[in-house]
Structure 1
Amino acid sequence: MGIKMLLNAEAHYGVPVKIYTNDIDSESIDQLKKMSQLQFIHSHIAAMPDVHLGKGATVGSVIPTKNAIIPAAVGVDIGCGMNALRLSLKASQLPDNLSTLRNAIERKVPIGFGVHRQIKAKASTLSPLEKRLKVITDKHPALTRMLRNFDSTWAKQLGTLGGGNHFIELCLDENDDVWIMLHSGSRGLGNVIGTYFIERAKKEAQSRFGHVPDKDLSYFAEGSNSFDDYVEAVEWAQEYAYENRREMMRLILEAVRPLLPSFQMTKEAINCHHNYVQKEHHFGEDVFVTRKGAIRAGLDEYGIIPGSMGAKSFIVKGKGNPESFCSCSHGAGRKMSRSKAKRIFNQQDLIQQTQGIECRKDKGVVDEIPSAYKNIDEVMENQSDLIEVVHTLKQVLCIKG
């Protein structure tokens, strides 16, 4: 069973915090306490077993709010999430040397700060996004000045990976079936939208609910123009992130088809956010649920929980547990910062911990070393009452930005 630990907030109106692990640091606890003191939190806050310190709000937290949204809790990688697809191929049908596949994918999908030289996405995808975006930028023209070559950049970034912990992987499941899995979000424009509205929330007076215990918890109250504009913008960014993953998957399939035996895509395809906000019904109320580093795990709803680049990942099915607001973890969760990982580990450590995986093994990705993350098996054990495992995946190829 998942572990539930109740924190008593210092303020008299604090709500409980339900944490599904004992592996949590004091800074994260302090951050969760501050969030629990906000008067518009509904019922309680849930913290998933991959919980760790975040900017603005704790990563791995599920925050239900009434009549308010905290932009910093959603964060700047709006709509970041996962996409996974099972192919009709077996492990034995893969080439012995996977470097050719990796190179082909990297030629098709720009990584890091890279963008496509030309717009790759179809007009049927771009046109609806462009139309809705113009409505947003007409109200907030400052957004167009925050991204270089605004009009072309957001379109050329559709179908690109980004950097940090974003990845593309080729994996094998327990039946030796081949999967393609990827992790990415709303790229530069999502970051711009998040940054712009976070700063706007900090500047605006918060008169409806009073003082906030941390400026990063500044919010928009429902009914205000800023609230409506943020909801419109964040929904756009979430849709963009979803389409970005779809476009990347299309390009990956295009890259690997000439190099593999003929294959089909199975019906097992999943595309889910883990940094987002949406309206849901919980404990008798319609509330805005912000999942910062958590995925929705409604009854029989499929999701993806990746481990680190040297560990297992999981395709899961939700149990619809109301105490977690029908949520579960979004991954293993970091146990140390990127700067600390770079101080403790070196390139040789990375090579050793990623043996047997076709991936970058240079010092530029040492901060993504498996030892910088929590043990994925413990994370999964602590949320056994939130999800059931459908497939266990092990990567054989990993592309990092």
Structure 2
Amino acid sequence: MNRLKLFQPGHRVLDLGCWPGSWTLYAARKIGPTGRVLGIDLKEVDFPLPQNAKTRVEDAFRFKGTKVPLLDVIISDMAPKTTDQKVSLATATLPLHTVCRGRPGWPAVPALGSLTAALASQRLWHRHWRRHRRTARSTGSETLPEFIETKGVPVVLYSPRREVEEQALEQLISLAESPLPVGHVAAMPDVHLGKGVAIGAVFASEKYVCPNAVGVDIGCGMCAVPVDGLYKQDLSEEKLRKLQSLIKERIPTSFDSHPVQLSWAKGTLKDISREHHPTDYLAERIDKEDRIAKQLGTLGGGNHFLEVVYAEGDEQVWCMLHSGSRNVGNTTASFYDSIAGDRGRCLRGQHGSLNYLEIDSPDGQDYLKDMQWCQSYAKENRSSMMNLMVSSVEEVTGKRADMSRAVNAHHNFCQCEKCRFFDHRTGAVKEKNLWVTRKGATSAREGQYGIIPGSMGVGSYIVKGRGARGSWQSCSHGAGRTMSRTRAKKEIPQEAFEASMKGIICDTNPAVRDEAPQAYKDLGQVLKNQADLVEVEHRLLPLVNVKGFEEKGSFSTGGRKRGPIHDRIRI
């Protein structure tokens, strides 16, 4: 191909039988950002392509269209999925060449054995891109995803590059140029600066795992459940305030723990350890540290929250919360980041370390064991709080939650998944079992339910995944910050914060102002930017919001009321 100089910057290229997409990607890189490639195949290409390349699932020889500009090159590798017509591809390309008005000196030529190249009319290309631009304008996503080429694997960015802070971009590029990822690094629409690795980054690795890439709150995530027969109109302000009071009494927030562990805590910890055997390091801590059991069923602080919400449309009431693995997850993450720096691969990243461990090493295996234990603890922590929440709702309203419809999903985690990806080093499409790390990203396999929360006061979304390969079958975990906590407290007036929470039963203490809606991206635009990743099932709007915060000099170990729990259900 280089000898023939078939592709030139700015060329318009048609790839017939483009699946699995390697030639489409090759052509896109050769023609540069001013060129365009259209791939046609009966089978969908499901790994990411740069902005200047698009594909369509269609029979390549049933196009119609006239009076359009020229294509420069048609290529094909004789793929069997190009057409269902019972003719050879080489014969089928002849009519295309015959009706074309090519540029002088560019005859049809064979290249690399089965590759056919020809000049052709650009009518098909023009028709497709005119349609694409019309669709893109209606969705507001004409530039997404964006590709960032690096010295390593590319970054696939599901947010306009101009809207991503420079430090987060530096982290994404640093990760992409490290030995950790294969295929590409995906960045979700809510991507922003994190510790070592940008929050919203997703990547897959065959050989390595990075504690800072999983995050310091291992297994942090969301949980939501609808309440049968309960609707917004059923909840007076008096009932909403009663609900807020009960939730705050029964679920410790910030650094608080239960004064006495929940009745099921001991059994739950044993169940977790039977399923995910902890290392001696973590097992000893579980035995000796009462706090691990007492923090099961507690919220924490920061962007964690407890909410009573209602669905836009039918106005059914839901309970929803956001939390993770509390102190045990944080300290476990820090412990293994230190181990990775001392005995693994020490790698200085942007704004934090990228220390990593070989998965097959003893330390790597130890981290995976304890990480999986903490992920399970985080899930059970959310389940425990949800039981406390729905019991409070039942006490006030007499209505019970439909636990069969509960969603309980991580967004800081790592797990082994079967992945199909384009290897940019070899040019081959591969399928392997890889360790997929999501730091501030939710799994969005086809048909899988997830939760994308907004800031306090804005609401959240229940979504269903589309299984997009470009995002490693992931979606955002929230709206994403536009201001640091320090900046938010400094720049957002208290009056503006209180005004943004009007109509919602909540705390607007100045200590929570760093979580004000003004500190976050527009959740609606974040959803538009990932329309190819998820479809919206429900929009949930807040009625009651509870957050954890600490005022100077305050600290408590409980004194919380439990209230009745009817047959605790694990979610």
Instruction: Give the TM-score taking structure 2 as reference length.
Output: 0.66
1:262 partnered with 2:405: no
- Structure 2 Cα separation of the partners of residues 290 and 337 of structure 1: 24
- Structure 1 Cα separation of the partners of residues 386 and 153 of structure 2: 41
Code of the aligned partner of 2:234: Q
CA contact (8 A) 1:169 1:181 kept: yes
Report the counterpart of residue 222 of structure 1 in structure 2: 359
Code of the aligned partner of 1:118: V
- Structure 1 Cα separation of the partners of residues 416 and 276 of structure 2: 21
CA contact (8 A) 1:220 1:226 kept: yes
Query: Percent of aligned positions with the same letter in both sequences?
Result: 39
Q: How does 1:153-172 map to 2 (within 5 A)?
A: 153-172=291-310
What secondary structure is seen at the aligned counterpart in 1 of 2:404?
A: strand
Report the counterpart of residue 311 of structure 1 in structure 2: 458
Distance 1:315 1:191, change over 3 A: same
Aligned-pair CA distance for 1:66 = 1.3
CA contact (8 A) 1:52 1:60 kept: yes
- Structure 2 Cα separation of the partners of residues 265 and 28 of structure 1: 40
Report the counterpart of residue 322 of structure 1 in structure 2: 469
Q: Alignment RMSD, CA only?
A: 1.9
Code of the aligned partner of 1:200: I
What secondary structure is seen at the aligned counterpart in 2 of 1:288?
A: strand
Aligned-pair CA distance for 1:124 = 3.4
CA contact (8 A) 1:121 1:158 kept: no
The counterpart of 1:286, out of the listed 425, 429, 433, is: 433
Report the counterpart of residue 211 of structure 2 in structure 1: 71
- Structure 1 Cα separation of the partners of residues 445 and 356 of structure 2: 27
Report the counterpart of residue 269 of structure 2 in structure 1: 126
Q: How does 1:343-358 map to 2 (within 5 A)?
A: 343-358=490-505
- Structure 1 Cα separation of the partners of residues 273 and 290 of structure 2: 11
- Gaps in structure 2 of 5+ consecutive residues: 1-138, 421-430, 549-571
Distance 1:277 1:32, change over 3 A: same
Deviation string 1:289-326 (CA, Å, 9 cap, x unpaired) is 11000000000000000011011210000000111111
Report the counterpart of residue 485 of structure 2 in structure 1: 338
Code of the aligned partner of 1:311: V
Code of the aligned partner of 1:168: L
Distance 1:309 1:139, change over 3 A: closer
- Structure 2 Cα separation of the partners of residues 265 and 259 of structure 1: 16
Q: How does 1:1-400 map to 2 (within 5 A)?
A: 2=141, 3-9=144-150, 11=151, 14-22=152-160, 23-88=163-228, 89-97=230-238, 98-122=240-264, 123-129=266-272, 135-136=278-279, 138-139=280-281, 144=285, 150-174=288-312, 175-206=314-345, 216-265=353-402, 267-283=404-420, 284-400=431-547
Deviation string 1:115-147 (CA, Å, 9 cap, x unpaired) is 0011104143132235678842x2468x84xx9
What secondary structure is seen at the aligned counterpart in 2 of 1:235?
A: helix
Code of the aligned partner of 2:418: H
- Structure 2 Cα separation of the partners of residues 127 and 139 of structure 1: 16
Deviation string 1:201-227 (CA, Å, 9 cap, x unpaired) is 111243xxx966566111001221100
Distance 1:355 1:211, change over 3 A: closer
Distance 1:273 1:26, change over 3 A: same
Report the counterpart of residue 98 of structure 2 in structure 1: none
CA contact (8 A) 2:324 2:378 kept: yes
- Structure 2 Cα separation of the partners of residues 400 and 108 of structure 1: 13
- Structure 2 Cα separation of the partners of residues 376 and 246 of structure 1: 26
CA contact (8 A) 1:83 1:181 kept: yes
- Structure 2 Cα separation of the partners of residues 157 and 212 of structure 1: 33
Code of the aligned partner of 1:27: Q
Distance 1:385 1:161, change over 3 A: same
Aligned-pair CA distance for 1:42 = 1.1
CA contact (8 A) 1:294 1:329 kept: yes
Aligned-pair CA distance for 1:347 = 2.1
- Structure 1 Cα separation of the partners of residues 250 and 235 of structure 2: 19
- Structure 2 Cα separation of the partners of residues 211 and 182 of structure 1: 35
Aligned-pair CA distance for 1:253 = 1.6
- Structure 1 Cα separation of the partners of residues 277 and 263 of structure 2: 18
CA contact (8 A) 2:269 2:377 kept: no
What secondary structure is seen at the aligned counterpart in 2 of 1:299?
A: coil
CA contact (8 A) 1:154 1:189 kept: yes
- Structure 1 Cα separation of the partners of residues 209 and 453 of structure 2: 28
Greater RCO, CA 8 A, separation 6+: 1
Aligned-pair CA distance for 1:262 = 3.1
CA contact (8 A) 1:121 1:247 kept: no
What secondary structure is seen at the aligned counterpart in 1 of 2:532?
A: coil
CA contact (8 A) 1:52 1:58 kept: yes
Deviation string 1:344-371 (CA, Å, 9 cap, x unpaired) is 0132121111111111111010000000
Instruction: Give the greater-gyration-radius structure (CA).
Output: 2
Code of the aligned partner of 2:452: I
- Structure 2 Cα separation of the partners of residues 212 and 302 of structure 1: 36
Distance 1:135 1:377, change over 3 A: closer
Distance 1:263 1:40, change over 3 A: closer
CA contact (8 A) 1:40 1:67 kept: yes
What secondary structure is seen at the aligned counterpart in 2 of 1:6?
A: strand
- Structure 2 Cα separation of the partners of residues 376 and 129 of structure 1: 35
Aligned-pair CA distance for 1:96 = 2.2
